[in-house]
Amino acid sequence: MSLDSKAEFSKWRAFFWPIYRWELKKFLSMLGMFFLIALNYNVLRTFKDSMVVTAPQAGAEAIPFIKVWAILPSALLLTFIFTRLANRFHREKVFYVMMCIFLAFFFIFAFVLYPLRDLLHPNQFADQLQSILPQGFKGLIAMFRNWTFTLFYVMSELWSTAIMSVLFWGFANEVTSVTEARRYYGLLMIGANVASIFAGQMSYYLSTLPFIPNIPYGSSKWEQSICFMTCIVLASGVITIAIFRSLNHHLAISGEKTNKEAKKAEKIKLSLRKNFAYLAKSKYLICIALIVLTYNVAINLIEVVWKNQINALYPDSSDFQAYMGQVTTQIGIVATLASIFVVGNVMRCFSWTTNAMIPVVTMFVTGAGFFIFVMFQNSPIMSPLAALVGLSPAAFGLMLGSMQNIFARSCKYTFFDATKELAFIPLSDESKLKGKAAIDGVGSRLGKSGGSVIHQSLLLFCSTVAASTPYVAAIFLAISLIWMFAVISLGKKFDQLTAKNETLDVTESEPVLETPVFTKN
């Protein structure tokens, strides 16, 4: 927030609602869109984990294989499709096409693929493979055996990349200045975190509903919950499209979408190869990519171990889903409180580097505590510690893993996302679009796939998630240190650019800047 805007707001309004009256139409539309997109993201996230981990002959071991052999190729394909669409159509039309692709798939899955899963899944052939291959290939076979569930997992994962990161945040960064972003983005995160609370409670409610025989779908409460989930996702998606159309109409009338943007849409021709070439040209973009990569590697390393513990205590699909729904609710509550009382003011009062270090420190501290207990839970020290709170060592380890996920995810949905999006703003329009497409469209997938490759390799040698945990913990430590160094390096460059109000265009040589000036932005 600028000094002028601070003077025009009262103390409490500057704290809770730093939005001008003439900005309400634009901001509330963006808030509504982000709420619904985040609602779908969180609903899909809980269902995809429950569906894959509790599938027949599956488990948490399937997740690393899915992320390497299914999600990574799909992310590359989706990025190729997006770049082709962006070359031919305006961003508004690209948004409609991409939304329709996802909504059509979820409809087909719920009403065609899932009801016919017993006919479509190659169980007999998968059983033969299981009898031939070593135990370490269990996850790969489960991915193949339950291929329709794998496809659902992939599309649910790509929703966050394609719709939330590339399309919504790409649009938001186009129509939002740095000054507006410092006031808007904290509030947008509150909307997303409230959506997480709603999604968690909906997931919990749907998984605990009794079977309703009058509904002509499914033979169990779990199957019916899939139908209800799909209806929620489809309804939210249609409303999101309507809001986006209205917002584009409003921006066109108000003059915020100028001829410059239209010319830019004609000028920029994206290709997958050029997207990666852009990253290689700029240290600034490389630092952003490193932060995205290391976050996704770190969270993936922890979550596979954590979800394996959930499956051990809650093997039933509905019970697994109910537990995940409760965790999602807690993430939303913590992130919402942080967004209201902490994030906005910390972002306005401290440098980008300080804000960006909060997620990595939180991830490191909570992750280290979780790994230490899991590795030594049967030791003479850890077992009595669990008994003090009336839990078995396994249940106490699960609680620590859940707390780690709650705090790490809360930081991701507040400080991490906000600082990452702020880092794109000093870039030129062309650099912003191409760099963001490469980093969000593929970079995050490479991060998750990198963590999955690590798990996958360890599973082939250690056979089980539990046996590979000490090696995972050591790699987690190294990744966290790389993340910290990337944040510090990017923070220096960001402060230099914003202090001098410069725009970085990676098609040219990066400007030579003086000693960085660290200010409390």
Q: Which tens digits make up the pLDDT trace of 17-50?
A: 888 888 888 999 999 999 999 999 999 999 999 9
Tally: H helices and E strands in the chain = 25, 0
- Integer angstrom CA distances of residue 368 from 291, 298, 404: 19, 11, 9
d(C-alpha 420, C-alpha 436), whole Å: 10
Residue 331 has a pLDDT of: 93
Q: What sign does the dihedral 490-366-402-153 (CA atoms) show?
A: positive
Residue 230 has a pLDDT of: 95
As a residue count, the chain comes to 521
CA angle 76, 82, 86 (to 5 degrees): 145
Res. 137: pLDDT tops 70: yes
Supply the pTM of this predicted model.
0.81
Res. 464: pLDDT tops 60: yes
The pLDDT tens digits of the residues spanning 150-195 come to 999 999 989 988 898 888 988 888 888 777 887 887 788 788 889 9
Task: Using DSSP, state whether 427 is helix, strand or coil.
Answer: strand
Res. 520: pLDDT tops 50: no
d(C-alpha 219, C-alpha 318), whole Å: 14
Beta bridge partner(s), residue 251:
none
Residue 272 has a pLDDT of: 54
Confirm if 238 and 40 have CB atoms less than 8 A apart: no
Between 155-164, 373-382, 475-484, the lowest mean confidence (pLDDT) is in: 373-382
Task: Using DSSP, state whether 518 is helix, strand or coil.
Answer: coil
CA angle 343, 9, 338 (to 5 degrees): 15
Confirm if 493 and 384 have CB atoms less than 8 A apart: no
Res. 265: pLDDT tops 70: no
Amino acid occupying residue 10: S
Residue 444 has a pLDDT of: 67
Taking all residues of the chain, what is their mean pLDDT, rounded to a whole number? 84
d(C-alpha 38, C-alpha 168), whole Å: 11
d(C-alpha 296, C-alpha 412), whole Å: 10
Domains (range + CATH), the chain: 21-499 (1.20.1250.20)
Res. 281: pLDDT tops 50: yes
Count CB-CB contacts under 10 A for residue 489: 17
Q: How many CA atoms lie within 13 A of 153 on its CB side?
A: 28
Residue 87 has a pLDDT of: 83
Confirm if 401 and 309 have CB atoms less than 8 A apart: yes
Confidence of residue 225 (pLDDT cuts 50, 70, 90): very high
